[in-house]
Amino acid sequence: MAEILPIGTILAVAINQVIKTAHAAKDVVIEKESFRTLSAHLFDIVSVLKQLELGELNESPITRKALENLETDVKKANALVEKYKNRGRFYLLIKCRHIVKEVQDVTRDIGKSLNSLCLANAEILSGISDEVTRLQNEMQRAEFATCQSQIRILDKLDQGLASQKLDNGFANDIIVDIARAVGVTVEPSEIRKELDSFKREKEEAENRKERAEVYLLEQIIELLSRADAAQDYEHVKGQYMQRLRVIEGHDPKSESIPPFKAFICGITNNVMVDPVSLSNGTAYSRVAIEAWFGSGEKTDPITGEPLEDLSFRSNIQLRQSIQEWKELNYCMIIRSCKSKLMSRNDSSVEDAVYQIRDLIKESSINKDWISIGGLTVLLIDILPNLHNQQVKTEVLVTLKYAVEGHARNKDLLVENKGFCHIVPCLVHESTPSKAALELIYEIAVEESAQNVDYTRELSQQCNPVPFLVTILKGTETELSEKAHKILKELVDIDEENAVISAKEEWYEPLVDCIVQGPKSTKMAILRRIVHLELEEHNTKDLCELGLIPPLLEMASADLEAKELSLSMLIKLSTVSENKRVFSAAGGVPLIVDTMCSTPFPVVIPAKCLEILEKLSSNGDGITFLVDVNETQLNLESLVENLLAFLQNSLLPCTVLRPVLRSLFNICESESRLVKTAVLTAGGISLVLNLLDHADSETREAAINLLFLFSNHEPLGVAEFLLKPRRLEAFIGLLENTNKSDVQKAAVGLLANLPKSEVILTSKLIELEGLKAIIEILESGNTEAKENALSALFRFTDPTNIEAQKMVVELGAYNLLVDFLKNGSVTAKARAAALIGDLSMRSSELTMTSSTGHWCLCFGRARVNICQAHGGICSVKNTFCLLEAKALPELVKLLHGEVHATAYEAIQTLSTLVDKESPRKGTNVLHESGAVVPILEVLNWGSESLKVEALEVLEKVFMLTEMVDRYGSTARMGLVRLTGRSIHEEGHLHRKAAKVLLLIERHSRSSTSFVTGVSG
């Protein structure tokens, strides 16, 4: 007695069987919708069975029987799935009606078994009763139907078999329809593979003794085997050679053999297509005779004989004869085209390519025959020698016709190095470019098992990537999309093509390789691209494509990955947009930590430092020195870490340069950090030592940083420069006209050093440092000139007459006047102050004497006496600003109402007026129109500027005539400054009151405006 399995075990087995079948059903390639529906129902059943498993399943015989029936039906479904899962696609299409019926039946059977099981266990399933009822009803009433496109193909096939349409043309049509319906490419290798599978199905049917099935399959195999794509190449070649021998007797210049009269349809007067014979034996084209009878005629169209029997049948023998005649004509045309192509004459070649295309359209067998006849190779060979762009285009189009869906012709093109002739035709904006692209696309992209081989040959024979990238960037969307697909195929078979694309400024495949590729690919790509020259827009493109995050990830990997990724990050960290992405991705803490880590070779911190330099460059300073949460890093600690590198004198310049530049960028943007650098970390002494470095760029970076530090604390710099040979090297920096920023920093550093260092001043004159400064005034950039003007104060100190003479002798005075005219505000102010320094010594340098003395020395000669200094003046000897033509420019500065320039201008003009004998200088100011703008300063100037103006006015109004001329104008402004009381506190008020009292004292018609002063 057989052991009775527990019902729980049967249920568990059933659940596993249902799940297995549900998954398998999704993989059947034909009638997918039917099998997917079955799969979905089975997955729903699993839910029901698991609900039963959770409850106490009824052990009744009804439940057991229902469960066993369900298991049996599911096994049938599984057998059905297995039966059709791996069958040939052509066979599955032929059987699709039957398959649909089988799926429908098994679905309904499972639904019935499920219904019985659920009825026996209704209480357990009460919670999901609605869902169970829906599922049972859907499965028991399931109706599946074959899709209409497949039905149309089967109907067409049935009609062809019934009417014995076994010709090549019908076979070609039906095989294309079938192949497309089941997703098979119309290439001989694929078609023959499907037919072989079909033949195996016939053999199995024979073994099962299914005669009807065998007969049907034999008919279909016989029909499909007549298609060109299904024929054996050797057979096709033999057929061509046989036809070729027949036409050898015909005139070589002839392109056709006239048709026999029997081939002509009596209705259309054209060669018959699909000939059929009437009951009386006459033959016509099928379509023509159907139309004849359809119009109501019941006679023979030629003889007029009445026909009792209007039936007709296919005339297979006549059809074959017509086909043979056509094939002979094909051979005639192929022979003629060969001669035309070999002539290389544009007109003949163009005629030939049109004929070849007509042949291919007429019959697909001609794709083989034109190649067997040598036309494909000829078309390839003549391409580079064609100068007519239109003809070249037509040749490319014809080649596409020849290789379309034809693996043998693609092989032939590749074997004959066809890509070497096709790729140059892709050149931008040429007429053949589109045709060449379409041809390459057909070979490399259109579905084929050999596409990878063709694409590899394309890459190796004549790499088209540069041309394709140009097309990709073009305006024609369709061409751009095809170029993109070809490029993708090229990159897939060889990562080197991603690098070539990058060189052409198309970075998408390169970034994809780095983001998604395995480590080996990433490393190989980075090794190649790390040396690419990238413009700013290139780096933006790479960043937008998402390159920075994977590079940061690699920067945390092994040593080589670190070095390569950091090198690439240096290139990307040049523009603000990329820096923002870098910092947002948490890159800054990573490179700072890596930079300070000791185990790495020096190249790693060097690259980290270079990234830090880039991040802080271009005025960005500390903006991007943040963590992933945008919290500012500890900048004091960062500055100290950077200065720590400078303590090691053995570090290479690849480390020192970015350290110095990073420090400069950071401290320049955050001045409080200079204190940290100078006072806490001893920055000046560390940087000073680098002025002796052998590397010029390191010295230059050091001088830039030293200039920045010296703005706050120049202590120790002068002593360093006075050491042997160091000042000579420093002057060399002043003379470096190729590096404007170095000049600016060097001369700026000099300007910041104390003027009391007289030894330094003397040494600079001795070593031609002064000359270098004046040359900067002539040819430096704006900032360098401004710093040079500041540095010049060291040499214009009024107590050092010899230094002043050197300044003037070297031509500085004229330059200073030019700055008054054309300089920046800062330059104008400094130039005015320098002229003031020189002018302070003019009076004592001026030669003075009595009139008699002049007469003794010069007789009656007329001598020009300086109006300001009362003697003979010159620029060179007395530094006279009148002789230098500076006076008008100084007055203009007063009219500009700019505090900085007006202040220095007033101070300089003040040097013309001697307090003890103010008349000459005052008259000069009056005649030059300076007094009025000085008075106007009292209305708009700052307090310090007004004080300077009052200093001058105090000397001016010592003269009664000046009071008469300007007193009334001055009174109102002075009264406003004193607040109508001369007793108010404050320097400005006291100065204003003093000048006002002068005016009152010297006024010839005094009416007091001053409160508290009686007349």
State the pLDDT at residue 334. Answer: 94
pLDDT above 90: residue 898 = yes
Mean confidence (pLDDT) of the chain: 85
Report the alpha-carbon distance of residue 876 to residue 883 in Å, rounded.
9
Cβ atoms of 77 and 106 within 8 Å: the answer is yes
Helix, strand or coil for residue 887? helix
Q: Which amino acid is at 500?
A: I
For the chain, how long is the longest CA-to-CA vector? Answer: 163
Helix, strand or coil for residue 163? coil
Stated pTM of the model: 0.65
Helix segments in 344-430, DSSP class H: 346-362, 365-372, 375-382, 389-403, 407-415, 418-422
Q: Read off the DSSP letter of residue 864.
A: P
- Looking at the DSSP bridge assignments, the partners of residue 278 are 312
Mean pLDDT on 422-437: 89
Lowest mean pLDDT among 255-259, 502-506, 999-1003: 999-1003
Report the alpha-carbon distance of residue 574 to residue 566 in Å, rounded.
13
State the pLDDT at residue 923. Answer: 95
pLDDT tens figures, 217-263: 877 877 777 776 777 778 888 889 999 899 888 888 888 999 999 99
pLDDT above 70: residue 852 = no
pLDDT above 70: residue 128 = no
The count of residues in the chain is 1015
Helix, strand or coil for residue 313? strand
State the pLDDT at residue 864. Answer: 81
Report the alpha-carbon distance of residue 978 to residue 969 in Å, rounded.
15
Taking the CA atoms of 1000, 1001, 1005 and 1008 in sequence, report the sign of the dihedral they define.
positive
H or E element, residue 96: helix 96-120
pLDDT band at 855 (very low <50, low <70, confident <90, very high): very low
Residue reference for tokens 């020698």: 385
Q: Which amino acid is at 918?
A: P
User: What are the tokens at 316?
Assistant: 């297979």
Picking from 796, 779, 930, the residue whose alpha carbon sits closest to that of residue 868 is: 930
SS3 string of 246-275?
A: HHCCCCCCCCCCCCCHHHECCCCCCECCCE
State the pLDDT at residue 89. Answer: 75
User: What are the tokens at 511?
Assistant: 């970034």
Mean pLDDT on 73-90: 76
